[in-house]
Amino acid sequence: MSLDWCPGIREACAHWRDAPMLQQTFEALERTLEQDNDACIDCAKSVVEAVCRVVVESFHTQQAPLRPTQETPSLSDWLSAAVRALKLGDVRDEKFKKLVSSHHKLADALNELRNKAGPASHGKDPYLERLAAHHRRTAVLAADAIVAFLHKAYLDAQLDPISSREPWERFAADNALIDAHVGLAVDAEDGDAPTLRFLLPGGDELPINIEVSRLLYLLDRDAYVEALNAARGVATSAVASADPQGAPA
């Protein structure tokens, strides 16, 4: 079976390539798909759950807890938590709510199929017949639909830079705002990133060009947010000054 059956899973796993367990599960899915092995159902279900957990952990805080409270959360519990984290149910459109609900039904069906036929989940009857190819394809397509749905919504969501595991590049708009308004007291040519100069033994220098936003994001997330808020204040004031007639009376 070709990996063309799970483009959404492949894209999500490429995005979270620094998540070792997710990558290991995806590698197992690749192998079992190529081998027409029913264990691809176990792997597909595990990928969905892993993606749900990535999403939930990205938004969970003590002030706004999102992790399932069950002792052993089911796939449906994790999916519900991910949907809440992404606020996918916070819409008035009933048709869209039904669409979201349909993904829960897919998750339940995938979980049941995995429990009944997944050879890697529980001990099964040794003489149980293998599933047909279309059964495996259906399971993988269901998992792919759920993962793609969550991943695309995640990419559009506003993340918290303090707790996010996303790379600096994920916050491109915020980075540009910081770099436009926040300076660094080091050598810098017009339009270029500031240059930090590290003194080596013997008097030699090691210059490193780096954006202010990148430096703050990598070293001090709280300072990054403080700089972002300050930059937003400057930008807002500039807009108000440019259009004094725009403010309400």
pLDDT for the residue 1: 46
pLDDT in tens, the chain (249 residues): 455 789 999 999 999 999 999 999 999 999 998 898 999 999 999 999 999 999 999 999 888 899 999 999 999 999 999 999 999 877 777 777 888 888 999 999 999 989 888 888 777 767 677 788 888 889 999 999 999 999 999 999 989 999 898 999 999 999 999 999 998 866 556 556 677 888 899 888 888 888 999 999 999 999 999 999 999 988 777 666 666 555 554
* Residue found by looking up tokens 């999916």 in the block: 79
Rounded to 5 degrees, φ, ψ at 196 are: -90, 135
CA distance 206 to 197: 6
pLDDT for the residue 175: 96
Q: What is the dihedral of CA 240, 243, 248, 249, to 10 degrees?
A: 110
Ramachandran class of 60: left when φ > 0, alpha when ψ lies in -120 to 50, beta otherwise: beta
For residue 133, give the amino acid letter. A
Q: What residues form DSSP beta bridges with 196?
A: 208
* 3-state secondary structure (DSSP) of residue 107: helix
* pTM for the structure as a whole: 0.79
Task: Tell which residue, 78, 103, 75, 100, has the closest CA to residue 90.
Answer: 100
| DSSP conformational letter for 4 | G
Q: Are 231 and 178 in contact (CB under 8 A)?
A: yes
CA distance 144 to 153: 14
Rounded to 5 degrees, φ, ψ at 205 are: -115, 145
| Residue 148 CB partners (closer than 8 Å, separation 6+) | 7, 8, 9, 11, 12
| Parallel/antiparallel/unpaired status of strands 205-209 and 195-199 | antiparallel
